[in-house]
Amino acid sequence: MHMADALLSPATGGLMTAVSAAFIGYAVKKIAGPGSGAAGNTTGAVLDEKKIPIMGVMGAFIFAGQMINFTIPGTGSSGHIGGGILLAALLGPFPALLTLASVLLIQCLFFADGGLLAYGCNVFNMGVTSCLLAYCFIFRPIIKKGIDRKRIILASVVSAAAGLQLGAFCVVLETLFSGVTELPFGAFVLLMQPIHLAIGIVEGLVTAAVLCYVHSARPELLDSSIGNTPIPAAVSLRKVLVTFIALTVIVGGGLSLFASVYPDGLEWSMEGVAGTAELEREGPVYETAGSVVETIAFMPDYGFAGDEEGSRLGTAAAGIVGSLITVILAGGIGLVIRLAGKRNAPIHSPRADA
């Protein structure tokens, strides 16, 4: 559901960039603020040292997972996971938003997936709606009643579907406010919502499968995110981290070669309404944004530059390289914020206890 620049007016793109930047800034503030790592924190912003490698590894896993488009039977369309609910369930909503924003930035700048003008929209549509809204108001209330396999499945499917429905509707509204006449509101929304409901259900099932494994292997991870508490120091996450590193390599470097050739839900809906999935817009803003991405993207469309046919080796390399960059960026962001949080932590004075 990555939006291209041509779907937006400069005003709408700029506004949504500012909105998403505000959410990202708020997430950083909540995580790095005084007491953010303390037990019993009720802000949903706990980020202890053990979650920093999870940010990097799970961010890479989501990057690789988004490369696999799965076919929606009987529609001629496909979809891929967004990953917001999965990240929020393991990290908490605010670290999850930062991780997903990192994934989307890497996809945009290095792989030309999603426009630079549309970056703010993509962060909001795929990140804010799932990590902050669907997770906090649907997933967490269901799971808080008791973490077991049935509740994990129910919470995952319902919240993933709801988050994707919100995101898809936001896409329609953003094109409406941008004056994209090729995509009239009524016809566009009637295609966007049902196809993304189907995609959301599949994502929910994938999310549930991953979370059920994590809960069986290291239940402390889910307990930490739901309860906003640090992971106990004695808990080792090595097995879980190694498992997801291996899965990331397998998915990004191998399974990505078998992604569906059908257009994704957004492209499919555009073709159904406008007859094409590639609208064009002219103007200095579009030219500048396109030029920046063209200059930076060294593996456009997840392949070697200049390889118009898209070799299997190029796709596999893109999956591995992109995942590695995500580990560095997402994990690095977590580390910097954690260090800043320690610096901002109030100094304990023995006199205060006297």
Q: Return the SS3 of 39.
A: coil
Residues 6+ apart with CB under 8 A from 178: 7, 8, 9, 11, 12, 13
**Backbone phi and psi for residue 77, each to the nearest 5 degrees, phi listed first:** -125, 170
Cβ burial, residue 201 (10 Å; 0-12/13-18/19+): middle
Token output for 105: 């930035």
How far is Cα 321 from Cα 304, in angstroms, rounded to an integer? 11
Length reported for the chain: 354
Quick one: which H or E segment has residue 70? strand 70-72
pLDDT digits (tens, 9 = 90+) for 181-221: 999 999 999 999 999 999 999 999 999 999 999 999 999 99
Token look-up 């994502």 returns: 203
Q: What integer pLDDT is reported at residue 200 of this predicted model?
A: 97
Q: What integer pLDDT is reported at residue 354 of this predicted model?
A: 38
Amino acid at 261: V
Please tell me the least confidently modeled range out of 18-32, 60-74, 277-291, 334-348: 334-348
Count CB atoms within 10 A of the CB of residue 38: 13
Amino acid at 170: C
Count CB atoms within 10 A of the CB of residue 188: 23
How far is Cα 161 from Cα 197, in angstroms, rounded to an integer? 6
Chain-centroid distance of CA 225 in Å reads 17
First to last CA, the chain: 58
Q: What integer pLDDT is reported at residue 43 of this predicted model?
A: 46
Its pTM stands at: 0.93
Chain-centroid distance of CA 338 in Å reads 21
Q: Are 52 and 102 in contact (CB under 8 A)?
A: no
How would DSSP label each residue in 206-236?
HHHHHHHHHHHH-HHHHHHHHHT-PPPTT--
Cβ burial, residue 39 (10 Å; 0-12/13-18/19+): exposed
Q: What integer pLDDT is reported at residue 145 of this predicted model?
A: 85
Q: What integer pLDDT is reported at residue 339 of this predicted model?
A: 84
How far is Cα 88 from Cα 121, in angstroms, rounded to an integer? 19
pLDDT digits (tens, 9 = 90+) for 289-313: 999 999 999 999 999 887 766 688 9
How far is Cα 140 from Cα 123, in angstroms, rounded to an integer? 21
Q: Bridge-partner residues for 77, per DSSP?
A: 72
pLDDT digits (tens, 9 = 90+) for 71-104: 999 999 999 999 999 999 999 999 999 999 999 9
Token look-up 């402390």 returns: 220
